[in-house]
């Protein structure tokens, strides 16, 4: 998610009393990842926050954003089993949300994710055409890199009305990489596709 959007979501969550850490999950809790999409409207984050709170749920991690005229969210939730079922059922009635849930074992929910050995932000801008996401991520995959987060969008160029494709995100690796090789390959791909692909290594403590 774009940093500005993430900041706005965190502000909304705080105002709604949705910032988790209010209660520690217990071994009896049911853990699940919930994905929901529906028409965007004012107050939708508040309604979701209240529903989770009223049903003894703890939002441990979340990503939310508007996509066109719709609103989409993904959240990792812990709640007592009966309440978890209620959250799933009731969320489907919040403004016509379409809901999918994915159960998470307690072992995976409490697993500590190790810090990556290498990390970088990337930004892409260029004339929009099919296959850009595929080509860029193929470059990363070929070098054992994982996409930690990714955001795409389009905009109209200031002059000429050309549709520009925008993509930004973060890539990580569990082991040190040959950045010179990655940089050379990214420059070659940029030239071939007629795009700007910039890479910025980050401290792994971020």
The Cβ of residue 77 has, within 10 Å, a number of other Cβ atoms equal to: 28
Indicate the number of domains in the chain: 2
59 and 139 share one domain: no
Q: Any residues with CB less than 8 A from the CB of 169 and at least 6 apart, and which?
A: 121, 122, 147, 148, 149, 150, 151
Share of the chain above pLDDT 70, in %: 85
Instruction: List the one residue out of 27, 13, 20 whose CA is nearest residue 58.
Output: 20
168 and 101 share one domain: no
77 and 24 share one domain: yes
Q: Give pLDDT tens digits for 28-80.
A: 689 999 898 999 999 888 888 899 999 999 999 999 999 889 999 999 999 99
What's the whole-number mean pLDDT along residues 119-138?
Answer: 95
DSSP designation for 160: T
What is the predicted pLDDT for the residue at 111? 83
Is pLDDT above 60 for 23?
Answer: no
101 and 136 share one domain: no
100 and 18 share one domain: yes
Instruction: Report the mean per-residue pLDDT for the chain.
Output: 85
Worst-scoring range by mean pLDDT, 103-112, 114-123, 148-157, 160-169? 103-112
- In CATH, what number is assigned to the domain containing residue 181? 3.30.70.260
| Phi, psi for residue 40 in degrees, rounded to 5 | -75, 145
What is the predicted pLDDT for the residue at 160? 76
Q: Give pLDDT tens digits for 77-128.
A: 999 988 988 898 888 888 788 888 899 988 888 888 889 999 999 999 999 8
Gap between the Cα atoms of 155 and 158, Å rounded: 9
What is the predicted pLDDT for the residue at 25? 61
User: Final residue of a domain: which of 109, 135, 153?
Assistant: 109
Q: How confident is the model at residue 159 (pLDDT cuts 50, 70, 90)?
A: confident
Token pair listed for 174: 């569990």
User: Final residue of a domain: which of 67, 85, 109?
Assistant: 109
Token pair listed for 79: 């709640």
User: Final residue of a domain: which of 82, 109, 136?
Assistant: 109
Cα 111 to chain centroid distance, Å, stands at: 19
Range of the domain at 101: 3-109
């Amino acid at each position: 998610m774009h940093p500005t959007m993430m900041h706005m979501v965190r502000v909304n969550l705080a105002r709604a009393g949705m910032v988790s850490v209010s209660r520690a999950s217990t071994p009896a809790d049911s853990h699940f990842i919930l994905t929901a999409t529906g028409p965007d409207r004012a107050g939708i984050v508040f309604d979701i926050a209240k529903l989770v709170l009223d049903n003894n749920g703890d939002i441990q991690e979340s990503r939310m954003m508007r996509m066109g005229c719709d609103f989409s969210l993904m959240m990792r939730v812990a709640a007592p089993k009966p309440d978890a079922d209620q959250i799933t059922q009731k969320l489907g009635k919040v403004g016509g949300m379409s809901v999918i849930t994915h159960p998470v074992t307690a072992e995976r929910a409490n697993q500590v994710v190790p810090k990556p050995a290498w990390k970088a932000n990337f930004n892409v801008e260029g004339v929009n055409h099919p296959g850009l996401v595929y080509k860029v991520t193929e470059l990363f995959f070929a070098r054992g890199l994982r996409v930690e987060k990714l955001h795409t969008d389009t905009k109209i160029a200031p002059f000429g009305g050309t549709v520009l494709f925008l993509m930004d995100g973060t890539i990580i690796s569990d082991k040190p990489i040959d950045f010179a090789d990655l940089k050379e390959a990214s420059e070659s791909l940029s030239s071939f596709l007629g795009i700007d692909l910039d890479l910025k290594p980050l401290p792994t403590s971020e």
